[in-house]
Structure 1
Amino acid sequence: MIIVKTREEIELMRESALIVSKTLGALAPEVKPGVTTLELDKIAETCIRDHGAVPGFLGLYDFPNSLCMSPNEQVVHGIPNDKPLENGDIISIDCGALKNGFYGDHAYTFEVGEVEPATKKLLEVAKASLYKGIEQFKFGNRVGDVGYAIQQYCEAHGYGIVRELVGHGVGASMHEDPEMPNYGRRGRGKKFIEGMVVAIEPMVNRGTHRIKQHRDGWTITTRDGEPSAHFEHDVALVDGKPELLSTFKYIYDALGIVSDEEDAFRAQPITN
């Protein structure tokens, strides 16, 4: 069942989403060769708690940390550890925060040092596909319209779209209806309605779309060992159109990146 949010609840969700966005922004300058994912996890937990929230992932389904940290061929759900990141790595950082009874859930794949051009291209396409999907999250469309847009864009560039892992509704629970696959057929699936909030999150592999789960019960990697990229936004359906609750602005400010990619989906300016 889809749980529709009121305008007041959407604003509370925006607060939670922006705490996650600010946390990812705080991590951005720290993602560099030599740092461990456990060190980044501690920074994130402190940042989330300093904003009056609690880490959304810590203890959720018995997950042991505040961040899912997935380098290189890891797709999602990687567990932070004491292995230092290396020059040329990429790492997906997925973060959640719970405040005022609502979750924010948001992810970005970072470059570590100097990354090879083929991997940079993967990240560019994966992030662009996120916005291709968000464009289709509008009144009258269906779940399949979002998945189709993401799939067609990524496969046109020769990349694999993960099937087994999907986006989702988000609200008072981290995972709500509807599931939001990153593949599909136009005009199929549940219809979008005013007040829905979803997490759209393409998981895009440089090689095959096939994946495998590891014995820790969490870590998911590509089956062929090729790198994978993951980007995620929280999006509300407001006045029939997609409105971003999360933002990459704090990441871009930290890294000196100029971008207008979010402008079409932003109803109000983001302040510091």
Structure 2
Amino acid sequence: MKITQIRNATVIIEYGGKRFLVDPMLGAKGTFAPFPMTGNELRNPLVELPMPVAEILQGIDAVIITHTHLDHIDPTALEIMDKRLPVFVQDNKDAGFMRKHCFTNVSILGEDTRFGDVQMTKTPGKHGTFPMILLAGHTCGIIFRNDKEQTLYLAGDTIWYHGVETTLDKYSPEVILINAGGNKFKGFRPVIMHEKDVLEVHRHMPKSILVATHLEGVNHNTVTRKELCKFAETNDFSDKLLIPDDGQTISL
């Protein structure tokens, strides 16, 4: 498998002979307004794409939308992506959203969703704690399996909680892709994993390779690559944690 970090939670996963574009945020730097209650007024995305959009979209077999927040599917992506591409979403609500934007090949992820030789299984996520979870809404993760590949767990926007622990116990993924930016709003706990949550994943699956994404892309990120790297070194798991830069491809 290959994982290419594009920007924020946008990644390309090459797995089982297929090329998946995950959570495409494809607009130029500063295209949309800051997320509120963050203590800053930086417009999103915070950085430019590391490569031209045409290069990102080249050879994509399918798109995966873990949920429809702006930093996971933005107006630019909705406008420029091929409306005939297979799109996988978490539920009927998100399917309706994509169909409203003229995508014609939308499927809802389930226990045994097949795309070519790739088996995908939707997994639960918890997008923060009360009361922020009421605003953040539903999200999901995905288990990828293929006879010739290691099992991959795309955790999505979630904090560390029993649902993630149960998923790890059930599927024993060798590779875990973690949204690790510690995104939060003033006065509330993070709505996705931060350094200590990443450590909990490692402690539960000490032999697995962790890949950190969703860093330094939007104004409510609180964890930087440098901080996460130092934390992993201090807690003796830096040999199991990969933190790709935007535009970097990791082969596993």
Tell me if TM exceeds 0.5: no
Higher relative contact order (CA 8 A, sep 6+): 1
- Using the size of structure 2 for normalisation, the TM-score is 0.30
